[in-house]
Copies of this chain bind each other. A is one copy, B any other.
């Protein structure tokens, strides 16, 4: 079992060493062993980091990932906590989706804009916006 330096872990995970130290400082990663003061990581840490990355990609905040991982005193199984969060987050993500679609509509309207001055254009854009 080869131990990894922090920069090796960073490289393999595709993040910066400073991010790893930050995760450790907020208890998202457990403190690793040290050799001459330097961190030495078991390759298992890479799975942990992958989890963090997937959770972030799903829209969970670091704070939410923390409670997901660290609430050991809570006897709810992990899958249940994950599902609870996934449920909440799906509501947020659906709202986000609608917002992005709204953004797109405004922009597409903007592409059809033929106004020559600000006053005119303001009315044109607002008309397009409120009529949709």
Contacts and interface: CB of A to CB of B under 8 A. Distances in A.
Interface of A: 47-48, 50-51, 54-55, 57-59, 69, 77-79, 82-83, 85-87, 89-90, 93-94, 96-97, 100-104, 106-108, 110-111, 113-119, 121-123, 125-126, 129
A82 B121 contact: yes
Nearest to A106: B58
Contacts of A117: 77-78
B93 A103 contact: yes
Contacts of A89: 103, 107
Most buried by B among A77, A93, A101, A108: A93
Contacts of A125: 51, 54-55
A113 B94 CA distance: 20
B79 A115 contact: yes
A47 B122 contact: yes
Contact of A126 (B51, B90, B115): B51
